[in-house]
C-alpha cells in the first residue's frame, strides 16, 4: 500500500515538475518575444529591469511657426546626473563651479534620485554652450551636459496643432506594414493626425546605463548614448502660424471672454493662416470631455448676415442692384412690421451697410426665380461652400488634406428647399440651412480683397528634414471652379467699406482704426435657448488695409445671448495689434 502511495506521489510531483519545465521552456525559449495575451517581449522587459535611461528626444517630428520658432517643444541645454554617482567620489565641486549650482544641491539631488534626471526638472536649469563644453570636458562618468527636448505644456493654437496619444489598435490599423512599438505616439487630432505618417519616430535619442539588482553599475560606469543617427529625421512641420501674432490673438480672445468661438487671421498675399484661436480650450487632463478638442474655426456655423455678401455678389452680376430702387426696411422679410430695426426706406448700398433683412430676403427670392441654384453658385464662387483647406497629391499620397477635420459649407440641403421662395428669403439673410466655417468666411474676404481670385488656405508651408532641407513644399494653389468677375469684386469691396464708413453702418465702430477696414457683421439666430433667452452667433468678417489688403480676419462668438458681444472689440484690438507690429 505504502509503495503504491509513494509511486503515486512521485508521479504527481513528476507531472508538476514537467509542467513547470514546459512553462519555463515556453517563457525562456519559445515565447520570449510574444508572451501572453498582452504580447509582451520578455527579452525587452528583462533588459528594462536592469536598465536606467534618460530620454532626450522621443523621435517624433516637430512643429514650428513660419519663422522657424518651435511651437510644440523647446530644446534646452541641461545637466544630466545618474544615480550611481551616490556610490562614487566625483568632482562635485568642479561641476558646481562651472554650473553655479551649489555642491550641496547637486549631492542632495543625486542622493534622492532613483533614475537619471536633468537637474531642476520639471523646470530645468539651462546651461550655456560654454558651460556644456566645460562640464563634458571633465569626462565624469554619470555627469553630462546635453540638449534635451521638452514638450510644451501650453501649445499655441492647440486645436489646430492637435494632440498625440498611445493607441496600439489604431497604430496597427494605420501602419500594418511597419514595425512600431505599441507605445509609439500617434496623432489623434489636428495637424498631428493629418501629418502623422511624416511625424512617426525613427527611434529615440537617450542615455542608457545598465545596473545590477541593487542599482550598482553592471558593466562598469560607462553610459551609452543611443541615437537613430539619421540626419534626416525627425522632420519639422513648418506651419504658416506667426507665433507672436498667435499669442496676442489668444490673449485677446480670452480678454473678451469668448467661451465658444474665436478668430481666424489670414495673410492675403499667400493665403495662409497667421493665427487661429478656438475656444473652449482643450482640457489636457480629460481632452475628450467637453468640446475643447473641437476646432470651432473648422466647423460649420450659422452665418447670419455675413451671407448677405453672397447675395450682393449675385445681385451685382445679375443686375438687380438698381441704385434707385428703395426697400422698405421697416418690415421683416415676411412683411410684418420690424420693431427693433426700424430703418425706413433704404437703397441697395445703405441696405448692405445697415444689414437690412428685408432687402436681401427680397433679392434672394428674385434671384431664386431666375435660377434656384444662384445662391449656391455664388457661395461657391466666393469659396464659402465646400472645403477651402490645402489639398493635393504628395509622394505616394493622393488627395492629401492639411485639414482633415474641416467641415464643408452649404446653402441648401434639399431640392425642395432650393425651390421654395420663402426658404430662399431666409437663406438670403444667412439663416435656414446656410452654414459655413469661420475659415471659409475669412477666405471669402481674402477672395474679395484679391479681386475675385480664390485660393486654397494653407496652414503648413513645407515639411523640412532634420538638416533643414525641404522634404515637401506646399505651394500656393487656386481653388477650382468659377470666380466672380473683377468688376463684381470691386463693387463688393466698396460695399464692405461702406459698412464701416456709413454713419449708420454696422461696422462704424471700426472707422477710427489705424488700418482702414472693410467687412460685414452678422448676428445669426441659432434656434437654441438658455434661461429662456434665444442664443445667437455674433460675427464680424473683414479685411484690411482697405487700399492695399494684407489681412483677412474673422471674429466669432457662438451661442451667446443677444446682449453679449466681444466680437467688435476683439476685431478692433487685433487690427491695432497688427498695425503696431507692422510699424
Nearest in space to 503 (alpha carbons), one of 340, 325, 359, 354: 354
Dig out the grid coordinates for 69 from the structure.
520658432
CA max distance for the chain = 123
Q: Which of 455, 482, 483 shows the shortest CA–CA distance to 389?
A: 455
Q: What phi and psi values does residue 103 have, to the nearest 5 degrees? A: -60, -40
Task: List active site positions.
Answer: 305
| Interatomic CA distance for residues 397 and 63, integer angstroms | 21
Give the SS3 label for residue 197.
helix
The cell numbers describing 499, all together, are 459698412
Burial of 40 (0-12, 13-18, 19+ CB in 10 A): middle
Q: Cβ of 401: how many Cβ atoms within 10 Å?
A: 14
- Compute the residue count for the chain: 583
Short-list 248, 143, 80, 160, CA closest to 457: 160
Q: Taking the alpha carbons of 30, 33, 34, 35 in that order, is the dihedral positive or negative? A: positive
**What's the rounded Cα separation, in Å, for the pair 117 and 114?**
9
Distance CA 25, CA 22 (A): 5
Count other C-beta atoms under 10 Å from residue 131's C-beta: 18
List phi, psi (to 5°) of 402: -70, -35
> What residues are paired with 227 via a beta bridge?
none
Bridge partners (DSSP) listed for residue 343: none
User: CA–CA separation, 2 vs 74, rounded Å?
Assistant: 77
* CA distance linking residue 99 with residue 62, whole number of Å: 29
Where would I find the beta strands (DSSP E) of 152-300? 164-166, 185-187, 205-210, 224-226, 236-239, 261-267, 272-279
Residue pair 315/308 in contact by the 8 Å Cβ criterion: no
Determine the Cα–Cα distance for residues 386 and 41; give it in Å rounded to an integer: 48
In 3-state terms, the chain is what percent helix, strand and coil (to 5)? 35, 25, 40
∠ Cα 108 114 120 (to 5°) = 50
What CA–CA distances, in Å, run from 285 to 122, 163, 282, 289, 405? 18, 12, 9, 9, 22
Taking a C-beta distance cutoff of 8 angstroms, is the pair 155, 124 a contact? no
The three-state secondary structure class of 70 is: strand
Report d(CA 89, CA 111) in Å as an integer. Answer: 13
**Residues 133 and 143 sit within 8 Å (Cβ to Cβ):** no
Amino acid at each position: 500500500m505504502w509503495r503504491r502511495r509513494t509511486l503515486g506521489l512521485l508521479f504527481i510531483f513528476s507531472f508538476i515538475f514537467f509542467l513547470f519545465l514546459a512553462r519555463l521552456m515556453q517563457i525562456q525559449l519559445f515565447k520570449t518575444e510574444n508572451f501572453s495575451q498582452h504580447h509582451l517581449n520578455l527579452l525587452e522587459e528583462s533588459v528594462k529591469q536592469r536598465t536606467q535611461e534618460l530620454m532626450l528626444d522621443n523621435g517624433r517630428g516637430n512643429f514650428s511657426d513660419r519663422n522657424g520658432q518651435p511651437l510644440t517643444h523647446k530644446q534646452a541645454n541641461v545637466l544630466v546626473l545618474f544615480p550611481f554617482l551616490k556610490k562614487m567620489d566625483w568632482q562635485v565641486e568642479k561641476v558646481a563651479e562651472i554650473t553655479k549650482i551649489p555642491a550641496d544641491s547637486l549631492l542632495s539631488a543625486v542622493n534622492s534620485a532613483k533614475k537619471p534626471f536633468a537637474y531642476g526638472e520639471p523646470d530645468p536649469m539651462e546651461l550655456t554652450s560654454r558651460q556644456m563644453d566645460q562640464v563634458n570636458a571633465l569626462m565624469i562618468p554619470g555627469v553630462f551636459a546635453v540638449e534635451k527636448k521638452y514638450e510644451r505644456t501650453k501649445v499655441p493654437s492647440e486645436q489646430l496643432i492637435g494632440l498625440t496619444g498611445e493607441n496600439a489598435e489604431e497604430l496597427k490599423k494605420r501602419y500594418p506594414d511597419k514595425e512600431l512599438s505599441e507605445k509609439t505616439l500617434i496623432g489623434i487630432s489636428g495637424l498631428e493626425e493629418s501629418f502623422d505618417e511624416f511625424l512617426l519616430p525613427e527611434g529615440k535619442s537617450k542615455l542608457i546605463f545598465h545596473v545590477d539588482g541593487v542599482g550598482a553599475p553592471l558593466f562598469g560606469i560607462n553610459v551609452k548614448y543611443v541615437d537613430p543617427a539619421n540626419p534626416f529625421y525627425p522632420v519639422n512641420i513648418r506651419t504658416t502660424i506667426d507665433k507672436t501674432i498667435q499669442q496676442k490673438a489668444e490673449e485677446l480672445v480670452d480678454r473678451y471672454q469668448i467661451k465658444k468661438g474665436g478668430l481666424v487671421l489670414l495673410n492675403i498675399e499667400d493665403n495662409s493662416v497667421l493665427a487661429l484661436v478656438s475656444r473652449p480650450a482643450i482640457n489636457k487632463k480629460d481632452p475628450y470631455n467637453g468640446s475643447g478638442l473641437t476646432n470651432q474655426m473648422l466647423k460649420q456655423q450659422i452665418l447670419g448676415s455675413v451671407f448677405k455678401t453672397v447675395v450682393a455678389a449675385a445681385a451685382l452680376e445679375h443686375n438687380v442692384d438698381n441704385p434707385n430702387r428703395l426697400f422698405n426696411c421697416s418690415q421683416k422679410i415676411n412683411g410684418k412690421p420690424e420693431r427693433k430695426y426700424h430703418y425706413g426706406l433704404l437703397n441697395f448700398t445703405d441696405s448692405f451697410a445697415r444689414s437690412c433683412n428685408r432687402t436681401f430676403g427680397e433679392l434672394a427670392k428674385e434671384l431664386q426665380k431666375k435660377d434656384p441654384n444662384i445662391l449656391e453658385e455664388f457661395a461657391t464662387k466666393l469659396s464659402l461652400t465646400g472645403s477651402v483647406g490645402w489639398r493635393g497629391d504628395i509622394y505616394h499620397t493622393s488627395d492629401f488634406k492639411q485639414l482633415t477635420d474641416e467641415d464643408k459649407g452649404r446653402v441648401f440641403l434639399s431640392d425642395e428647399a432650393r425651390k421654395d421662395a420663402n426658404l430662399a428669403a431666409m437663406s438670403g439673410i444667412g439663416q435656414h440651412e446656410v452654414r459655413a466655417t469661420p475659415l471659409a468666411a475669412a477666405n471669402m474676404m481674402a477672395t474679395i480683397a484679391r479681386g475675385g481670385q480664390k485660393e486654397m488656405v494653407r496652414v503648413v508651408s513645407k515639411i523640412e528634414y532634420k538638416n533643414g532641407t525641404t522634404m515637401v513644399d506646399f505651394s500656393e494653389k487656386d481653388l477650382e471652379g468659377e470666380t466672380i468677375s473683377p468688376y463684381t469684386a470691386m463693387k463688393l469691396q466698396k460695399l464692405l467699406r461702406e459698412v464701416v464708413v456709413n454713419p449708420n453702418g454696422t461696422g462704424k465702430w471700426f472707422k477710427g482704426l489705424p488700418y482702414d477696414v472693410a467687412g460685414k457683421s452678422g448676428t445669426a439666430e441659432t434656434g437654441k435657448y438658455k434661461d429662456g433667452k434665444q442664443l445667437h452667433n455674433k460675427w464680424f468678417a473683414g479685411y484690411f488695409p482697405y487700399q492695399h489688403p494684407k489681412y483677412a480676419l474673422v471674429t466669432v462668438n457662438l451661442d451667446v445671448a443677444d446682449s453679449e458681444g466681444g466680437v467688435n472689440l476683439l476685431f478692433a484690438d487685433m487690427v491695432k495689434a497688427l498695425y503696431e507690429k507692422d510699424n
